[in-house]
Amino acid sequence: MKISFIKIIKENSIEALSLIIVIMIWQLVADGIVQNNFLLPSFYDVITSFFALVKNGLVFMDIFISLLHFSLGITAALIIGIPLGISMGWFKKVNRAVDPIIEILRPIPPLAWIPFAIVWFGLTHQAAGFVVFVGMVFPIVINTYTGFKNVPKVNVEAAKVLGCTQNVKLIRFIAIPSAMPSIVAGIRIAMGVGWMCLVAAEMFGASERGLGYQLWFNYYLHRMNFVVVYMLLLGFLGLFIDHFFRYYVDAKLLKWTAGTVV
């Protein structure tokens, strides 16, 4: 146990050293040069603020609320985006009907939907979830569609001569597995976009709780040390979600792509 711990430190020594140096520079600059807690809170300030938040438990509630908004958005985006992408990719006529609508809606920045999110849903979790949904749904639709377009014809034909001839079966057994790397890549892109939309939606008041809301609230109070805490929390949570997805999904779902370039 002890040996493996030392080994980890040894193996990651350059990374760890680099982090420590950056933190030291930050602390020195904040303390020695800027000397203004409003312009640049020091590392020490941020850490004590963080522990204060942990102590009164408020931070866990906000993490929970933000994750709730995020899961509302991602669930809706998956439920609508994947079937839509599938039907566009498999049925030419659906693509012709839906594509113009998507091409008009897609360039609208998701944040431009915030006023309507509030008008339609009020200051609720659904409103924030809706903005996340708008940010996530397009990358998911488009990557699912692309994945379906690129299903090798020879695989479809091979399946047909093996007795898999109905559309439903072809989609389920051939097109979906074949398109999976593309779909997964779309979801990963969407998660990055969705995370940004989440923070913005909460900041602009589409919700009364959450990490983004707290970040903005503390800015109004000029408590910049807390603003940094929430910034870092958002960064780490985003990183965590992405890594969880990358290691879990890639290892489980996409073993077979190890030999291909995706």
Partner 1 sequence: MGRVSVINVSRTFIKKEDKSETEALKKVAFDVGNGEFVCLLGPSGCGKTTLLRIIAGLETLTSGEITLNGIPITGPDPKRGMVFQQYSLFPWRTVMDNITFGLEMQGIKKVEARIQVEKYIELVGLGQFKNSYPFELSGGMQQRAAIARALANEPEVLLMDEPFGALDAQTRNILQDELLKIWEQKHVTFLFVTHSVDEAVFLSDRVVAMTSRPGRVKEIVDINLPRPRCRTGPEANRLRDYILKLLEEERLKR
55 versus 93: smaller Cβ distance to partner 1: 93
CB of 94 to partner 1, least distance (A): 21
- Sites of contact with partner 1 (CB under 8 A): 154-155, 157-165, 169, 173-174, 177-178, 180, 255-260
CB of 177 to partner 1, least distance (A): 4
CB of 250 to partner 1, least distance (A): 13
Report how far residue 60's alpha carbon sits from residue 65's, in angstroms, rounded to the nearest whole number. Answer: 9
CB of 93 to partner 1, least distance (A): 17
Contact 86, 176 (CB under 8 A): yes
120 token code pair:
């339609």
169 versus 243: smaller Cβ distance to partner 1: 169
CB of 254 to partner 1, least distance (A): 8
Q: Is 205 helix (H, G, I), strand (E, B) or coil?
A: coil
CB of 260 to partner 1, least distance (A): 6
Report how far residue 180's alpha carbon sits from residue 100's, in angstroms, rounded to the nearest whole number. Answer: 25
Q: How far is CA 247 from CA 178, 185, 237, 254, 255, in A?
A: 20, 13, 15, 10, 11
Q: Which residues lie closer than 8 Å to 151 by C-beta, 6 or more apart?
A: 174, 175, 178, 179
117 versus 187: smaller Cβ distance to partner 1: 187
| Rg of the chain in Å (alpha carbons) | 23
121 versus 173: smaller Cβ distance to partner 1: 173
169 versus 222: smaller Cβ distance to partner 1: 169
In 150-175, alpha helices (H): 153-161, 167-170
122 versus 177: smaller Cβ distance to partner 1: 177
Report how far residue 222's alpha carbon sits from residue 85's, in angstroms, rounded to the nearest whole number. Answer: 45
- Residue 141 CA to its chain's centroid (Å): 16
